Structure 1
Amino acid sequence: MTKCATCGNDYDKTFEVHMQGQSYHFDSFECAITALAPLCAHCGVRIVGHGVEQDGRIFCCAHCAKRDGVDGLVDRG
């Protein structure tokens, strides 16, 4: 059994995620999202979908980007 990198649960059905040269084991998608999903620079929500990005800042949507003073971004379809 392998321990979850987020919650420490020792579980026989963990899965491994490789990201930016590192590997992690998780027992649920919830734990993987908590550990790896970026936060919106405006509202702080975890970005599980595509998001939008400009100058190294990532937002959950174009609305949040605009609220943070970033113009010209559109949501991906």
Structure 2
Amino acid sequence: MYLLATRPDLAFSVCLVARFMERPTEMHITAIKRIMRYVKGTIGFGVRYKKTSENLQLNGWTDSDYAGDLDDRKSTSGY
């Protein structure tokens, strides 16, 4: 999940499949492969922070659902 530090576009999908690391099914492996194809196709994407003034202000947002997993009622968050 270290990619999420510079690739917030991956946060939701990676957190979602990370739930199933203990016993992934073929569906989860397919989802992981799709994520990896996306990463390969967008390898030049990232986040760069440039200081443009002395009063630099960094804002962040987050998104989550509450108990959105219908199987075990776990929540998913992203940013």
More strand by share: 1
Q: Which has the higher contact order (CA 8 A, sep 6+)?
A: 2
Taking structure 2 as the reference length, the TM-score comes to 0.16
Superposition TM-score, scaled by structure 1 size: 0.17
Decide which structure has greater helix share.
2
